[in-house]
């Protein structure tokens, strides 16, 4: 009852303030709503990222798409790896020149575009995203960057469900050995080891050599312990090729990784 009395008493004042300061009230309401939405969505909004990139980049130009992502990330929270980690990843991709690459964690397509623009002619990327809305938005950004469906495939599922199906999306090609020669993991660090074991089981790591790039989101000493312990215990086929704050590159080669890895830190 008291609530009704207070509301009725305040109504004329609220109406007067609203009409006099209509624009300011509207801006304030919009800010409160965006703030509440960000809070509910956990701070990062994939739709906002997509909308900004889609409407501000030059369509068909991968470098413009990446620059627009970087511009957005200057003022907004964004899960993309960003230019610094991106350049470290570029170095690996330029060295490996993978004909077949696998990415776990597409998000809005930033790292997919970085990878795709450096694949050799005929190269193909399989990228996996758990969230269906995010997967659609990521796929659209990859297309907007100028890449064709013949060059990439987005799989919408968890990495654990996707890995056993990946082989069916790899076309046999020269020098491919039936597997992938680059894997980028940037999905969930708890999944890095189980997914590496699944890739081994499915024989998806190219036996003649495969670089597995682990993005380090959590810079604590323990973040990659499980997977690095596994790699350390399998010195017959794994070595650590690059170790940076932002990423670790593991090199896999069936039987003889040790020689390849000696002094290989870049
Ligand atoms: C940090 S973001 C990836 C950012 C992306 N590499 C980039 O730079 O643009 C992680 C993404 O992985 C997805 N993800 C999380 N767990 C996953 C899983 N088990 N399988 C597939 N995708 C997953 C999330 O939905 C999210 O979009």
Q: Which helix (H) or strand (E) holds 126?
A: strand 124-129
Q: Which helix (H) or strand (E) holds 142?
A: helix 132-144
Sheet holding 247-252, edge to edge: 152-156, 124-129, 100-104, 182-185, 210-215, 247-252, 238-243
Q: Give the angle subtended at the CA of 233 by the CAs of 128 and 216, to the nearest 5°.
A: 40
Neighbouring CB atoms inside 10 A of 29's CB total 11
Contact 62/117 with Cβ under 8 angstroms?
A: yes
Task: Give 10-residue mean pLDDT values along the chain (266 residues).
Answer: 57 60 54 49 78 98 98 95 97 97 98 98 97 98 98 98 95 66 97 98 96 90 89 96 96 70 43
Ligand 1 pocket, 186 CB below 6 A? yes
One CATH from 3.90.1200.10, 3.40.50.970, 1.20.120.450, 3.40.50.150 for 81-261: 3.40.50.150
**pLDDT per residue as tens digits for the range 184-200:** 999 999 999 999 999 99
Q: Give the start-to-end residue ranges of the domains of the chain.
A: 81-261
CA of 103 to the centre of ligand 1 (A): 9
Instruction: Please name the residue whose Cα sits nearest to atom 13 of ligand 1.
Output: 105
The pLDDT assigned to 8 comes to 58
Q: Ligand 1, from 101, 107, 137: best to mutate by most atoms within 8 Å of Cβ?
A: 107
The pLDDT assigned to 221 comes to 65
To the nearest 10 degrees (0 to 180), the angle between helices 2-20 and 22-41 is 120
């Amino acid at each position: 009852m008291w609530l009704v009395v207070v509301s009725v008493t305040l109504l004329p004042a609220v109406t007067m303030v609203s009409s006099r300061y209509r624009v300011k009230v509207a801006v304030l309401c919009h800010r409160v709503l965006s703030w509440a939405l960000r809070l509910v969505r956990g701070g990062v909004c994939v739709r906002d990222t997509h909308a900004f990139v889609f409407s501000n980049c030059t369509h068909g130009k991968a470098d413009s798409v990446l620059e627009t992502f970087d511009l957005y990330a200057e003022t907004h929270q964004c899960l993309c790896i960003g230019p610094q980690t991106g350049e470290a990843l570029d170095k690996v991709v330029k060295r490996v020149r993978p004909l077949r690459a696998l990415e776990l964690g597409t998000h809005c397509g930033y790292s997919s575009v970085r990878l795709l623009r450096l694949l050799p002619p005929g190269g193909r990327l399989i990228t996996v995203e758990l969230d269906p809305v995010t997967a659609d938005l990521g796929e659209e950004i990859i297309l907007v960057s100028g890449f064709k469906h013949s060059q990439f495939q987005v799989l919408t599922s968890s990495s654990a469900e996707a890995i056993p199906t990946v082989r069916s999306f790899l076309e046999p090609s020269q020098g491919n050995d039936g597997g992938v020669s680059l894997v980028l993991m940037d999905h969930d660090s708890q999944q890095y080891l189980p997914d590496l074991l699944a890739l081994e089981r499915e024989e998806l790591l190219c036996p003649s050599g495969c670089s597995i790039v682990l993005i380090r989101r959590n810079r604590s000493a323990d973040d990659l312990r499980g997977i690095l312990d596994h790699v350390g215990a399998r010195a017959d086929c794994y070595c650590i090729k690059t170790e940076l704050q932002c990423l670790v590159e593991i090199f896999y080669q069936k039987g003889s990784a040790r020689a390849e890895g000696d002094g290989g830190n870049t």
